[in-house]
Amino acid sequence: MNQNFSDTVILFNNDGLGYADEALRHKLATNYLRTLLELGQRPQAILFYAAGAKLVATGSPCLKELAELAALGVPLIACRTCLDFYGLMDAVRVGEIGNMMRIVEAQAKAGRVITV
């Protein structure tokens, strides 16, 4: 792979990839994250807001992959307002609870932002 993700921030604003039914969205998100791991790609950060914040909480289909990325030093930043809105503040299992300032700062530092 020619492109390096080290200057890239990945943004999840949905509880999976795309706008298909839930099972497919979840499967695609898990496959995407697993593929990053398999290819040795480490994004600068992964951000979660809106329904995407659900991916860092209990019941997420991709907690294993996210935990592996976090263990490799990839910051996982979830929106506090979104987690609170969905009643998930106590259900966060990976990453950090941030605010919109932290999310915007991560985007500003990135060479590019990919919304998946």
* Mean pLDDT over the full length of the chain: 95
Residue 15 lies in a domain: yes
Query: What is the total count of domains within the chain?
Result: 1
Residues 110/9, Cβ–Cβ less than 8 Å:
yes
Over residues 88-110, the mean pLDDT reads: 97
**What residue type is assigned to position 47 of the chain?**
L
Burial (0-12, 13-18, 19+ Cβ within 10 Å), 79: buried
pTM: 0.95
Residue 103 lies in a domain: yes
Residue 48 lies in a domain: yes
**Tens digits of per-residue pLDDT, 2-42?**
468 899 999 999 999 988 899 999 999 999 999 999 999 99
Residue 1 lies in a domain: no
**Residue ranges making up the domain that contains 25:** 8-115
CATH code for position 54: 3.40.1260.10
Inform me whether the pLDDT recorded for 1 exceeds 50. Answer: no
Task: Tell me what pLDDT residue 114 has.
Answer: 96
